[in-house]
Amino acid sequence: MPKGQETRDFIITKAAPLFNEKGYSGSSIADVMLATGLKKGGIYNHFESKDELAVAAFEHNWGLLKARYAQALHTAGESPTAQLFAAIDVHVGFAEGEPVVGGCPLLNTAVESDDGHPLLRERVREAVDFWRDLLRNIVTRGIAQGEFCIADADEIATIIISTLEGGVMLSKLYHSPDHLLRAAAHLRTFLNDKLLL
């Protein structure tokens, strides 16, 4: 790997948890300089702007979460029920500070990526679209295989995402994993009652 790419990757790796914990507005280039040990010019050698670095940091954090989803679904096997519950468990990991430092990068970045940061907002929407598609596909497959009752897969995906992200937000706000754990437990009960035959 070329040295320039190594340095760029190093900056992203150090900036990603910073942006996820402190947010775009709360993170300064001075913070990135402190985290990396690089001077401002060394950072701007690899990124044209703070926005470009923020997008790269989000991509890094989203990549970690996406990899955890892939691993969990693979471990769950072929059963749509096992996969759906495994997907919920990935998000429950935020109660223990995993898989991404600072909590859910989708929630953290979505809250901050207003119209002033259109590229960042678009990337978060694409990531959430991926997550929604993943959940919809699991539900659709479960229905097709006779494991689930007939249901609106898009509605189920919306309920799962909204419930989990609400739990993450409350747990972060109150510094307690209880809210996320309650949300996940409620989802499991809801899915057992609504989907499972």
pLDDT in tens, 108-122: 998 887 767 888 899
| Structural domain containing residue 165 | 50-194
Domain membership of residue 43 (yes or no) is no
pTM: 0.91
Q: What is the CATH number of the domain that holds 86?
A: 1.10.357.10
Identify whether 22 is part of a domain. Answer: no
Q: What is the pLDDT of residues 89-99, one digit of tens each?
A: 998 988 777 77
Residue at 14 is within a domain: no
Q: Are 100 and 78 in contact (CB under 8 A)?
A: no
Report how far apart, in Å, the C-alpha atoms of 115 and of each of 13, 28, 111, 112 are: 26, 20, 11, 9
Q: Is residue 7 in a domain?
A: no
Does residue 9 sit within a domain? no
**How many domains is the chain built from?**
1
Does a structural domain hold residue 58? Answer: yes
